[in-house]
Structure 1
Amino acid sequence: MVAVRDCFDAVRRQLEDQVRRQRGDVKTHEVPAHGKIASLIAEGDYGFIDTSDGTEVYFHRNAVANGGVEKLTVGDEVRFSLHPAEGEKGAQASAVIPVGKHHLGPAG
Structure 2
Amino acid sequence: MQTPIELSFQHVEPSEEIKALVHEKAEQLEKFSDRITSCHVYIRAPHKSQRKGNLYEVTIEVRVPGNELVVRHDQNDVAEHEHLRVAVRDAFAAMAIELKRWKNQIEGNVKTHDGMLQGKIVEIRHDEGFGQIITTDNRMIYFHRNSVVDGSFDELQPRDTVELVVQTGESPIGPQASTVRRIGTMEFVPETKPGRR
Bin the TM-score by the shorter chain: 0.5 to 0.7
Other-structure match for 2:184: 100
1:67 Cα shift?
Answer: 4.7
1:31 Cα shift?
Answer: 1.2
Q: Is the 8 A contact 1:77 1:100 kept in 2?
A: yes
Uncovered stretches (5+) of structure 1, i.e. residues with no partner: 1-26
Question: Among 134, 137, 144, which residue is 1:60 paired with?
Answer: 144
Q: 2: CA distance between counterparts of 1:83 and 1:56?
A: 13
Q: 1: CA distance between counterparts of 2:108 and 2:184?
A: 25
Q: Is the 8 A contact 2:126 2:153 kept in 1?
A: no
Number of corresponding residues: 76
1:76 Cα shift?
Answer: 0.3
1:66 Cα shift?
Answer: 3.4
More helix by share: 1
Q: 1: CA distance between counterparts of 2:184 and 2:151?
A: 16
State the TM-score, normalized to the length of structure 1: 0.63
Which entry has the higher C-alpha Rg, 1 or 2? 1
Identical counterparts, % of pairs: 32
1:28 Cα shift?
Answer: 8.6
Uncovered stretches (5+) of structure 2, i.e. residues with no partner: 1-106, 187-197
* Higher-RCO chain (CA-CA 8 Å, sequence separation at least 6): 1
Greater CA drift, 56-65 or 37-46? 37-46
Other-structure match for 2:79: none
State the TM-score, normalized to the length of structure 2: 0.36
Q: Is the 8 A contact 1:64 1:96 kept in 2?
A: yes
The amino acid of 2:124's aligned partner reads L
Structure 1 outlier segments of 4+, above 3 Å: 27-30
